[in-house]
Chain A
Amino acid sequence: MSVLLQAVCIAELLIVLLLLVRLARGPSVADRLLALNTMSSQAAVAVLFFAAFADRSFYADVSLWLASFSYLAALIWARYLERGLL
C-alpha cells in the first residue's frame, strides 16, 4: 500500500512539472495564474500522499493549509487583474 501511495505522489509531482511549462510560457498573466492555481491544488494532493506514505501527520496539515490559502491567493490575484492593477 505504501509503495502505491509513493508512486502516486511522484506522479503528481511530474504533473506539476508539466504545468510549470505553461507557467513559464503563458502569453498573458491570466494564463500564468491558471497554471499556478492548478499546480497548487495538485501540490496539495501530492503533499497529502507524502504524509500518508511516510506516516507523518504534520504534513497533512501542510496540505490543508496549501489547499485553503492558495485559493485565497488566486482570488486576490484575480481581483487585482480585474481592476487593471496587474
Chain B
Amino acid sequence: MRFAVVAVLSGIGLFFSLSAAVGILRMPDLYTRLQCSSKSITMGALPLLVAVAVAKGPISAYGGRALFVGLLIMLLGSATAHALSRAAYKVDVPMWRGSVADEPREGEPSE
C-alpha cells in the first residue's frame, strides 16, 4: 500500500519535472520558460518530496527534512521567479515575436 502511494507520487513528480525540462528547452523566449520552471517546482518537486515523507515516515530524519525542503522551495521558488523576470524585463530581454501584450511599456490598459 505504502509502496503504491510512493510509486504514484514519484510518477507524478517525475512526469512534471520532465515536461518542465522539455518546456525549458523548447519554449521560444525567457518569460515562457520561467513559467515552465515555476510549474516544475509546485507540481514536480513537491510530490517527490511528499513521496520521501511517505516512504520514510514524516517524523524520520528524511521525512521531516523533505517537508521542510518542500516548504522552502514553495516559498523561495516563486520569489526567485518574480525577481528574475523583473530583472530580465528591466534589461530588455526580448519577448517572443508572437507576444500580444506588453502592459508595463504601454501603461495601464484603458477601460
Residues of A within 8 A of B (CB): 1, 4-5, 8, 11-12, 15, 18-19, 21-22, 28, 30-31, 33-35, 37-38, 41-42, 44-45, 48-49, 51-52, 57, 60-61, 63-64, 67-68, 71, 74-75, 78-79, 81-82, 84
Check B80–A71 contact: CB distance below 8 A. Answer: yes
B43 at the interface (CB under 8 A from A): no
Check A64–B65 contact: CB distance below 8 A. Answer: yes
Which B residues lie within 8 Å of A38 (CB)?
A: 20-21, 24, 37, 40
Residues of B within 8 A of A (CB): 2-3, 6-7, 10, 13-14, 17-18, 20-22, 24-25, 30, 33-34, 37, 40-41, 44-45, 48-49, 51-52, 55-56, 61-62, 65-66, 68-69, 72-73, 76-77, 79-80, 83-84, 86-88, 90-91, 93
Check B30–A19 contact: CB distance below 8 A. Answer: no
- Please classify the interface of chain B as helix (H, G, I), strand (E, B), loop, or mixed, using the class held by over half of its residues: helix
Distance between Cα atoms of A31 and B37 in the complex (Å): 11
Among B24, B33, B61, max chain A CB count under 10 A is at B24
For residue B19, which residue of chain A has the nearest CB? A15
Distance between Cα atoms of A33 and B56 in the complex (Å): 33
Among A8, A11, A15, max chain B CB count under 10 A is at A8
Distance between Cα atoms of A63 and B52 in the complex (Å): 13
What is the minimal beta-carbon distance from B58 to any residue of chain A, in angstroms?
Answer: 13
Check B69–A82 contact: CB distance below 8 A. Answer: no
For residue B6, which residue of chain A has the nearest CB? A4
Check B80–A37 contact: CB distance below 8 A. Answer: yes
- Tell me which of A4, A21, A84 contacts B91 (CB under 8 A): A84
Check A52–B62 contact: CB distance below 8 A. Answer: yes
28 contacts between A and B (CB under 8 A): A1-B6, A4-B3, A4-B10, A5-B55, A8-B48, A12-B14, A15-B18, A18-B18, A19-B21, A22-B25, A28-B30, A30-B30, A30-B88, A31-B33, A38-B40, A41-B73, A44-B73, A48-B49, A48-B62, A48-B65, A60-B61, A60-B66, A63-B65, A64-B72, A71-B76, A74-B84, A75-B79, A78-B80
